[in-house]
Structure 1
Amino acid sequence: MSPAPESKQDRRPPYQHAADELRREILQGRIKPGEQLPAIRELQERFRVANMTMRSALNVLRDEGLIYTIHGRGSFVADHDGGGEFSANYNAPAWYLSNRGDKPSRAEQAEGRPDDEAASATLTEMLTALRDEIRALSADHQELRREVEELKAAQQAKQ
């Protein structure tokens, strides 16, 4: 028999490995809040994984609240406290663990709750929608800043 290799092979699924690496970069500040992640094709090449595998990794980070995605724009790092214990404190939402795999409807969420709890759920949904809108505006702002910098650089190059 041949001896076992010195370093054990990483047994995590490829999507989890990619998610862990990106999470580490975000929490260590190498990718800062508001900054756009590389395009999914670049990430696929970097981690040598398929498109759906990379999307699964991004879904993990999105479910954890580390990133958010704007359709047609890309994925961006969300604001976070910068603590390194984020993943240790993470609990998957109940809907993620359910057999159906989809989020419960508003009616299902409010079913059997007193009125104040239903109102609280509605308020939470409104706050979440506002947070997402602010993030989208922040991403637009970042894009405009990049365009201004490019225009300034082009103007300086002409002079």
Structure 2
Amino acid sequence: MTPPPHDTRPPYQQAADEIRKEIKSGRLKPGEQLPSHRELQERFGVANMTARSALRVLRDEGLIYTVQGRGSYVADAVVTQDGEVVAVVEAKSSKRPEAAKEAGGPAAPDTSEATGPYAETLLAIRDQLRTLNAEVQTLKRDVAELKEQQSPGKPTR
């Protein structure tokens, strides 16, 4: 990514803006895995910590979530008919929702104080579904690799 010469914002904010645009445009869909830190480093020409900072900004805004050891994923979003992201439902809310508003993005709803008899169960189920989604994507990649190894013309064992 070559930033415009007049853009004086830090590189992590520029990278976060690009990813945010992809999420809001629908190019990156809810539940879809984001590129790895290394891929983001190469794409934006930034250091590892800069890529991590960009993802942290998006996580604080509630646009993405991270599954330990699996990667970062686009959060579930409520989108209007004109494509505007108006709310992001996040199981682990940002500790600083005001930071997301300052950054120009939607703040994650504070679900840490959800009420009702089923709120805690629903949040636990959402976390389990996200972990399963990450595992499904890993399995899909593994299956694709196996199919590639067994493509016609290659002897199978």
The TM-score by the shorter chain falls in which range?
Answer: 0.5 to 0.7
Is residue 34–residue 142 contact of structure 1 (8 Å, CA) maintained in 2?
no
Unaligned runs of 5+ in 1: 1-6, 99-117
Q: Separation in 1 of the partners of 2:11 and 2:118?
A: 38
Aligned-residue sequence identity (percent) comes to: 57
User: How many residue pairs get matched?
Assistant: 131
Residue number in structure 2 paired with 1:96: 96
Deviations 1:112-137 (A, max 9, x none): xxxxxx78178544432321211110
> What is the RMSD of the two structures over their aligned residues, measured on CA atoms?
3.0
Residue identity in the other structure for 2:63: L
Is 1:78 the counterpart of 2:75 in the alignment? Answer: yes
Residue number in structure 1 paired with 2:20: 23
Q: Which has the higher contact order (CA 8 A, sep 6+)?
A: 1
Q: TM-score, normalised by structure 2?
A: 0.66
Unaligned runs of 5+ in 2: 99-112
* Runs (4+) off by over 6 Å: none
Residue identity in the other structure for 1:61: L
Q: Larger Cα Rg: Structure 1 or Structure 2? A: 1
* 1:10–1:140 Cα change, 3 Å: same
Q: Separation in 1 of the partners of 2:10 and 2:144?
A: 40
SS state at 1:80 partner: strand
Deviations 1:1-49 (A, max 9, x none): xxxxxx7611323222111100111222222333221110221232222
Residue number in structure 2 paired with 1:63: 60
Which structure has greater strand proportion?
2
Q: TM-score, normalised by structure 1?
A: 0.65
